[in-house]
Chains A and B, each alone.
Chain A
Amino acid sequence: MPKLIKGVGCPYCGSSCDDIEVLVSDDETKILEVHNACIIGTNLFHHANDATRPKLPRMRQPDGSMKEIPYDEAIDWMAKTMLKAKKPLIYGFGSTNCEGMSAVGRIAEKSGAVLDNCATICHGPSFLAIFDNGYPSCTLGEAKNRADVVVFWGCNPMHAHPRHTSRYSIFPRGYFTQKGQMQRTVLCIDPRETDTAKLADHHLMLDQGHDYELFDAFRTVLRGFEIPETVAGIPREKIKESVEIMKKAKFCMIFFGMGCTHTDGRNHNIDHAISLTRDLNNHTKCSIMAMRGHYNIAGPGQVWSWQFGFPYCIDLSKGSHAHMNPGETSSVDLAMRDEVDCFVNVGTDAGAHFPIQAVQHLKKHPFITIDPNFCMASEIADLHIPVRIAGVDEPGVVYRMDNVPIQFRAVIKGLPGVPSDEELFDRVYERMCELTNTQPIWLAAKEHRKYPHNPVVS
């Protein structure tokens, strides 16, 4: 009898929808149906059924082919390679749970690695602006219940976060927003007429790359000063009208995305957006939120800030303290300067999503990919170690885009013999300790850990 599992979390985008229902086979090995999820989430769950999913690590052979090897051999090779490297780079964590992110910290410290996550090529500039200017944010629940003016600046949730608008931002009926969409005014600032822009009441089609000027114009108008006739391709009257809408809102919510962080200005765009939020709070209530891309990409920011004091670009190679300086210790910059001599790609696909020149630099040195599926990074790796899929066959804690932690559950049984990220990293750490004749240090909080079964707790 197939079993319907309710309240399942979706391990795809930053919306981290937790209302998914999954129908699984009676032996809990196959996903039969997925309800409530968007097309991407549905595909993700169904992909877990793929019979060709790798079950054993694969090592690249001298002739370029890949050969399956046992886990112990892969763990030994990874431990030795990372210890041998002067400055390994561990990058990824867009799609894994916080348990895995926490466990990798021990390996990073042991091998003197640089620890970085997908934020480095995504919302990294937002972090820089937040360090400089603070983050007057709220939860998505507050946005749903209170926001009557919603601004999407350089983001396209209809494509990148398909259920964001229906769960949190445009359509849902909230406590103070009983009429749903009818009660909300939506502004979209984007150089293209995206599907989100089509939903908006006002679309400001700015000249691409001129976000800074437009933010500046918004703030100038808000402070009662005059602006030029046209700013960033937007007529003065349209800017004034938009500012008026935001000013008269009961609660204004600004969501911003890659349109601001990937283009000229980077962190300075976000800096201005945060200042605009602060300025608006002189008139009404206003909050701002980064549209984080992956379901748990806020996780490494949380976990590593707690462990090392920094959310990303963490250089542990000094051995004494963590050091963070994006531009210097960020993955793409390190790669382009050939400063790292081993690359570990975890739960992401640097092969597909880094600029190809950065991939070419990284490939000069040992390249390890840890990923449940075949991807570009696995197909150019020297070693590919498959793991379970967090949120599908491995439970765990994830942080939604508003930094709210959610416990995700596993819906099917994991492939036999395939470890989770956490188990894999713990085994690599233990092997590193064996190789260096040191005692592994496990925190007391890890007493209930799955591996090893009887840890020495110190």
Chain B
Amino acid sequence: MSKIHLNMITQRSIEEGAAMEKGKTNPDYFEACSICEMHPDDMKKAGIWKNTNVRVTSECGTVIVKAIEPTQYVPPGLAHIRQGVWANQVVPPRTQSTGTPQYSGFPVTIEPAPNEKLKSALELVQGAVGLWKGGKL
């Protein structure tokens, strides 16, 4: 299966902010943040259908998100996952000695993963520290 190398940025969105204030286990937060925006041409190159799941892999991790067409125009070569739990699974913690991780501008590989399931915020975070016991949220 083909894959594509893109430049990833993770930034705020009002959908994320509005959902976060309802609570991070709220379905709205899941809807708002478990997505990756990319240019339709890039989707085509990697054989990705819009609104299907993709695997995003960076130098330090991997996450399953849903590929969507940009809500705010993203040029070819650039991808955007909204700030939040899903984005931070792949954000490199390197800080260039400033304390601020590389939240924007890091290389990722994106490949189709239509049969993979999206994980909830709680599953991702609790799972990463060995506390996830299964469940709905």
Contact = CB atoms under 8 A, between A and B. Distances in A.
A380 B125 contact: yes
A420 interface: no
B7 A326 contact: no
Contact of B78 (A13, A191, A326, A356): A191
A145 interface: no
A208 B128 contact: no
A122 to B, nearest CB: 7
Given A156-B11, A191-B78, A332-B99, A376 B122 contact: yes
A267 interface: yes
A336 interface: yes
B27 interface: no
A237 interface: no
B104 A263 contact: yes
B61 interface: yes
A258 B98 contact: no
B75 to A, nearest CB: 7
Nearest to A293: B12
Nearest to A327: B97
A207 to B, nearest CB: 9
Interface in B68-94: 70, 72-75, 78, 80, 83-85, 88-89, 91-93
B125 A356 contact: yes
Nearest to A335: B93
Given A192-B74, A195-B72, A355-B88, A363 B129 contact: yes
Contacts of A331: 99
A160 B105 contact: no
Interface stretch (B13-21, B48-56, B110-118): B13-21
Contacts of A158: 14
Interface string A329-373: 011110110000000000001011111111110010000000001
A167 to B, nearest CB: 16
A15 to B, nearest CB: 12
Contacts of A219: none
A380 B98 contact: no
A194 B72 contact: yes
B85 A262 contact: no
B83 A208 contact: no
A209 B105 contact: yes
A353 to B, nearest CB: 6
A360 B93 CA distance: 12
A373 B23 contact: yes
Interface residues of B, number: 52
Interface stretch (A40-48, A82-90, A176-184, A437-445): A40-48
Given A40-B17, A258-B12, A375-B24, A327 B121 contact: no
Contact of A355 (B14, B60, B75): B60
Contact of A39 (B14, B83, B105, B128): B14
A300 interface: no
Given A327-B98, A332-B101, A359-B125, A258 B7 contact: no
Contacts of B10: 262
Among B7, B10, B98, B131, chain A packs the most CB atoms within 10 A around the CB of B98
Nearest to B15: A159
B125 A47 contact: no
B44 interface: no
A47 B128 contact: no
Interface string A278-299: 0000000000000001000000
B78 A359 contact: no
B17 A160 contact: yes
A53 to B, nearest CB: 10
Given A39-B18, A40-B17, A355-B91, A261 B121 contact: no
A326 B21 contact: no
Nearest to A125: B98
A262 B100 contact: yes
B122 A50 contact: no
B19 to A, nearest CB: 8
Contacts of B133: 64
Interface string A1-43: 0000000000011000000000000000000000000111001
A261 B101 CA distance: 10
Given A159-B12, A266-B96, A331-B99, A380 B131 contact: yes
Contacts of B97: 326-328, 333
Interface string B7-39: 101111110011011111100000000000000
Given A159-B12, A259-B11, A374-B23, A208 B99 contact: no
A337 B109 CA distance: 27
A197 B125 CA distance: 34
Contacts of B14: 38-40, 158-160, 162
Contact of B73 (A44, A192, A266): A192
Interface of A: 12-13, 38-40, 43-44, 47, 50, 64, 116, 120-122, 124-125, 128, 156, 158-160, 162, 191-195, 197, 205, 208-209, 258-259, 261-264, 266-267, 293, 312-313, 326-328, 330-333, 335-336, 349, 351-360, 363, 373-376, 379-380
Given A124-B98, A355-B93, A356-B128, 17 more contacts: A120-B100, A160-B17, A192-B72, A192-B74, A262-B11, A263-B9, A263-B105, A264-B105, A327-B98, A332-B101, A336-B93, A349-B24, A352-B84, A355-B88, A355-B101, A356-B61, A360-B129
